[in-house]
C-alpha cells in the first residue's frame, strides 16, 4: 500500500537506529572492560571489534541519507496517486490520512514490542510464570495487530472496540514492566540492559497511546464512505462511490475521473461544420 506516513516513519526509524548504533559503542566498551577485570574476556576484544562498531553508524548514516532522498521522491509519487484516487474531497483525504497513520502505527508497534520482548527474554533467565507469559504474548500480539488492521479495513466497529480494550491491556503491561524494572526487589535482574529496556518500553507506551487515539478516530470515520478507498482493488465502481465525493463519472480540469483517467473524447453529433 502506498502509505506516505509509513515512508516518513521509516526515515525517522532509521535515524533512531543511527543514534542507537552510536550510543552502543560506549556501552559495549564498558561491558568489555568490566568483564575483562574478572578475566571473563580478553581486553583486546574491544580493539578487535571497535572498527566494526564504528562502521555500523557510518553505514546507517549513509543508508539514512539515501532513504531520505528516496522518501522525498516516493512522497511526491504517493501523494499524487492518493490525489488521483480521492481527488479534492478534503474530508475524505483527512479520513484516509487517519487510516494511513493507524496502519503505520500498527507496524511500528509490532517492532518495538518485539524488540522489548526479545531483550527481556534474553536478560531475565529465571523460568517463572512471568517469563512464560512473555513468550506467549508474542504470537498473541501478532494476532491482535493483524486483527486490528483487518477490522479497520472492513470497518468493524465492535471488532475495533475489542482491539482498543486489548490496547489498554498492553498499555498496562508496559507500565507494569517499567515499575518492575525500577523496583528495589527486582531491579537487579534488569540492571544489565535497563536503559535499553526503558527506551523500548517508553517508546512502546507512546506508540500504544497514539494507536488508541487513531483507532478511535478511524472508528469515528466508519460508514462515511472511506471503505472503497482502502480496499486492495484500485478500481472504484460507481455504486461504491460515497455521496459527496469529489469523484465524478467524467473528469473536469480540476477533478480527474475514476482512477485519474480522463474520458475518451467523443465528438458531438450536433457539431456544425463550416466548409
Q: Considering Cα of 30, then 34, then 37, then 41, what sign does the dihedral take?
A: negative
My answer on whether 74 and 31 are in the same domain is yes
Is the predicted pLDDT of residue 207 greater than 80, yes or no?
yes
- 25 inside domain: yes
Is the predicted pLDDT of residue 250 greater than 50, yes or no?
no
Angle between helices 4-37 and 44-86 (to 10 degrees): 170
The pLDDT value recorded for residue 232 is 57
My answer on whether 111 and 223 are in the same domain is yes
CA atoms of 104 and 99, how far apart (whole Å): 9
- 245 inside domain: no
- Banded pLDDT at 213 (limits 50, 70, 90): very high
- 96 inside domain: no
My answer on whether 137 and 57 are in the same domain is no
Is the predicted pLDDT of residue 230 greater than 60, yes or no?
yes
- 124 inside domain: yes
Is the predicted pLDDT of residue 255 greater than 60, yes or no?
no
My answer on whether 114 and 163 are in the same domain is yes
My answer on whether 155 and 213 are in the same domain is yes
CA atoms of 171 and 5, how far apart (whole Å): 23
- 257 inside domain: no
CA atoms of 123 and 180, how far apart (whole Å): 14
The pLDDT value recorded for residue 209 is 94
Is the predicted pLDDT of residue 248 greater than 50, yes or no?
no
My answer on whether 132 and 218 are in the same domain is yes
The pLDDT value recorded for residue 147 is 93
Model pLDDT for residues 157-174, shown as the tens digit of each residue: 999 999 999 999 989 988
The pLDDT value recorded for residue 88 is 63
My answer on whether 44 and 130 are in the same domain is no
* Cell digits of residue 137: 504474548
- 16 inside domain: yes
Rounded average pLDDT over 72-87? 72
Alpha-helical runs (H) found in the chain:
4-37, 44-86, 90-123, 129-154, 157-182, 187-190, 194-220, 227-230
My answer on whether 130 and 170 are in the same domain is yes
The pLDDT value recorded for residue 219 is 92
Residue of 1 and 138 predicted with greater confidence: 138
Q: Please report where in the chains the cell 564504528 appears, as a residue.
A: 54
My answer on whether 73 and 113 are in the same domain is no
Is the predicted pLDDT of residue 235 greater than 60, yes or no?
no
Rounded average pLDDT over 192-201? 78
What's the Cα-to-Cα distance from 209 to each of 94, 168, 215, rounded to whole Å?
Answer: 20, 9, 10
The pLDDT value recorded for residue 36 is 81
- 273 inside domain: no
**DSSP structure string for 63-100:** HHHHHHHHHHHHHHHHHHHHHHHHTT-HHHHHHHHHHH
Residue of 190 and 37 predicted with greater confidence: 37
- Banded pLDDT at 237 (limits 50, 70, 90): very low
- 262 inside domain: no
Cβ-based neighbour number of residue 135 at 10 Å: 11
My answer on whether 69 and 137 are in the same domain is no
Is the predicted pLDDT of residue 76 greater than 90, yes or no?
no
My answer on whether 119 and 72 are in the same domain is no
The pLDDT value recorded for residue 14 is 86
Q: Which domain holds residue 138?
A: 106-232
Residue of 90 and 54 predicted with greater confidence: 54
My answer on whether 78 and 136 are in the same domain is no
255: left (phi over 0), alpha (psi -120 to 50) or beta: beta
Rounded average pLDDT over 93-109? 87
The pLDDT value recorded for residue 102 is 92
Mean pLDDT score across all residues of the chain? 77
DSSP-assigned letter for residue 243? T
Q: Show which of 53, 87, 121 is a domain's final residue.
A: 87
The pLDDT value recorded for residue 211 is 94
* Cell digits of residue 126: 529465571
The pLDDT value recorded for residue 1 is 59
- Banded pLDDT at 240 (limits 50, 70, 90): very low
Amino acid at each position: 500500500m502506498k502509505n506516505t506516513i509509513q515512508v516518513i516513519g521509516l526515515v525517522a526509524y532509521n535515524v533512531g537506529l543511527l543514534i542507537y548504533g552510536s550510543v552502543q559503542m560506549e556501552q559495549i566498551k564498558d561491558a568489555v572492560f568490566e568483564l575483562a577485570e574478572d578475566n571473563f574476556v580478553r581486553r583486546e576484544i574491544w580493539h578487535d571489534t571497535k572498527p566494526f562498531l564504528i562502521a555500523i553508524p557510518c553505514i546507517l548514516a549513509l543508508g539514512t541519507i539515501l532513504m531520505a532522498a528516496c522518501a522525498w521522491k516516493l512522497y511526491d509519487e504517493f501523494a499524487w496517486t492518493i490525489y488521483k484516487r480521492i481527488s479534492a474531497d478534503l474530508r475524505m483525504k483527512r479520513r484516509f490520512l487517519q487510516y494511513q497513520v493507524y496502519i503505520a502505527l500498527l507496524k511500528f508497534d509490532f517492532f518495538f514490542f518485539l524488540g522489548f520482548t526479545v531483550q527481556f527474554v534474553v536478560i531475565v533467565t529465571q523460568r517463572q510464570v512471568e517469563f512464560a507469559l512473555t513468550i506467549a504474548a508474542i504470537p498473541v500480539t501478532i494476532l491482535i495487530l493483524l486483527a486490528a488492521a483487518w477490522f479497520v479495513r472492513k470497518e468493524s466497529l465492535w471488532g475495533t472496540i475489542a482491539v482498543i480494550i486489548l490496547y489498554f491491556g498492553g498499555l498496562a503491561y508496559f507500565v507494569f514492566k517499567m515499575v518492575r524494572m525500577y523496583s528495589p526487589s527486582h531491579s537487579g535482574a534488569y540492571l544489565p540492559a535497563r536503559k535499553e529496556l526503558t527506551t523500548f518500553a517508553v517508546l512502546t507506551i507512546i506508540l500504544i497511546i497514539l494507536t488508541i487515539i487513531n483507532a478511535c478516530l478511524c472508528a469515528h470515520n466508519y460508514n462515511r464512505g472511506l471503505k472503497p478507498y482502502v480496499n486492495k482493488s484500485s478500481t472504484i465502481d460507481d455504486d461504491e462511490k460515497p455521496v459527496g465525493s469529489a469523484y465524478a463519472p467524467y473528469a473536469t480540469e480540476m477533478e480527474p475521473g475514476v482512477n485519474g483517467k480522463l474520458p475518451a473524447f467523443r465528438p458531438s453529433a450536433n457539431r456544425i461544420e463550416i466548409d
